[in-house]
Chains A and B, each alone.
Chain A
Amino acid sequence: MKQRFINLIVALPILILCGWLSIVLLSRWFAPDPSFQFARSLPGADGGPPASERDAAEELDIDLSGTLETYDGVPSGLPGAWPRFRGADFDNISKANVKLADSWPESGPEVLWSVELGEGHAAPVVFNGCVYVFDYDETARADALRCFSLADGSEIWRRSYALPAKRNHGLSRTIPAVTEDCIVTIGPRCHVSCVETKTGAFKWGIDLQRDYGTTEPLWFTGQCPLIDGNLAILAPAGPDALLMAVDCKSGEVVWKAPNPNAWKMSHSSIMPITLHGEEMYVYAAIGGMSGISKEGKVLWDIPWKASVIAPSPVPVSENRIFITGGYGAGSLMVEIDKTADGYAAREIARHGPKEWLASEQQTPILRNGLLYGIMPKDGGALKQQFVCYDPAGGELVWSSGKTHRFGLGPFFLADGRFFVLDDDGTLTMLAESRTGYEQLAQHRVLDGHDAWGPIALAGTRMLLRDSTRMVCIEVGGE
């Protein structure tokens, strides 16, 4: 009995001590907030302005008449023309009967001249011995339509208007449309201007943001204007006008096609396409694609959700149109059916960028029933490869393979061969083949990067650019 009492006397303090210790340790374990070292990620930590301020449209009051400077250059008498985006027939295929070289010497094709440009991707057009580029002068902070001699690259004149713009993956992006009488341009911040072709004299200008409620696209405007006869066809994609036609002589608006779906301006350009025997204007806006009659009536439309669209619509048969976009958009094949009261658009196929032909920037080329293009960065195993697809059967016919990738490269077809430019300015000549990749020649013709501006060909002179330089090379053969 006595021993049990002694044991209890000894054990009790120990038990009390252990209990007290347990309570202290548990309270210390549970008391602090385990996330006390966490920091909250809240809006505004970057020190930037609020979204409402950032997205507010900047009021610009631009005098589009600007100024004209003239220089010593003179127009050349050299043959050949490339008068607009995707060439004379809107298909990026040169039909001129010109023999081009089958191969290049080790030193590459001869570089005839080169000129420095403002940072951007605006490509040239060629007309009556003159090369026109819609540039951005970063020193003067001005949009500048520059006219050069095709012979030696010497500048002939420059019409510019002051415009505040900051580099956003380059500045200039668009290709002018040129005819005997006028040149129409669209600037990075949606300013349209029209000048006389020979002299550069100002005719008229339109601010699409101010006058038509256009929303400036991400990374500035990419839409290239279209001149059809005496009309400039533009896609402001504002509240009141998806497309509109402007008289090239007077600058007066001839018609406006409504925009009931409130679609926005994309980087895509308007393509005149003939469907069921009727020529119409087809435009892929942010929101969907639409066909507009030559009188400004909406003939059909079809929604398509793509956040960025740079390529333009491509007709692949008498009633089918192919459109593609980058940044995950993939592609859409649309069939336009004739109905009792007009037309109806129907989705035939919709593919992700890994599943079928897609493109981030350049518009595919249709040649003899096959579609050629360069796959986007999110194109899976085929990313940035030059590919050939059969739009009828739907299969991949061939690809350039994983050792031949071309970035976002521009490409076009002339004299039975493709010319493909990669991001770093390496030009590759391929045989036009229905069966496989056949490389004929390759040479680096530009030293810079981001060589994304489309290629132009006039006679045997090819014009290419990277982000800051344009070169003219000789590609003629025997």
Chain B
Amino acid sequence: MASSGYLGVDVGSVSTNLVLIDEAGVLKEKIYLRTQGDPIGAVKEGMRHLVPCARDMEILGVGTSGSGRKLAGVILGADCIKNEITAHAVAANYKVPGVQTVIEIGGQDSKIIILRQGVVIDFAMNTVCAAGTGSFLEQQAARLGIAIDEFGKLALGAVAPVRIAGRCAVFAESDMIHKQQMGHRIEDIISGLCDALVRNYLNNVGKGKVIKPPIVFQGGVAANAGMKAAFEKELGTQVVVPEHYDVMGALGAALVAAEERRRKDGQSKFRGFEAVDRDYATRTFECKGCSNLCEIVNITMDHETIARWGSRCGKWDSL
């Protein structure tokens, strides 16, 4: 084998990302896929895409992150299953050393992470509202018949951005429709929407946080040039969108796995690339053991149970 490295996988609500890094932490390959409601399928497909690059690479460790981290961790045999907040912070600090603020907006989550001297000192995630996240922007782009890749760029062509209520996705949409029916230019409406979502983010997720540069903007929505411009306007400072901004969760997971493997002896738990061709299935059932009626998830590999979770009392967790 020519080289060795680490695999990082981030299974989010909208996208599933995989990265391969070498031992020095340099990104060798990245895959960005749509989860499309099928995390297992997305992980399998992503792994198949990685095979050409990984053929002459020894995988020393695997890390998973994102809301599907536990599931992905079981399927791949992860050495480290890390929450997406820590993963994003680690990746941001790796790409932009000394970063003090991380703005991360993904499919359904938006978060802010505050670091000082490379240490996370505070963070927040959206709690009860998903306005301004990727799903909403995509839905609006689709409604207007604009490709999501073009959506943000259009905002940069605004002459007189309109004012849109950003408090709630439902209000924002009805405001947008109202403005469009009044005859405002589409560029001005999209720019107004970006401004509104940035205001909402700063008042809601960023409430009470001291936002200091360097500021890194990452996650799928960082591709949106209109959002980046709106953040820069509102914060009055430059916002950095790092290279590989779209796979930072996976990169963070790989970096954390690398650190973990260096600290511990023994073999990686990685099942290998061949393992993705095995037959994985999930089955859920309701435990009737008590009135909690917990929904138990049972995961099988070639009809053999490899993991089970979901009970409050923990009685189904052991195999």
Q: Does A associate with B in a complex?
A: no
**Which A residues lie at the B interface, using CB under 8 A?**
none
| Chain B interfacial positions (CB closer than 8 Å to A) | none
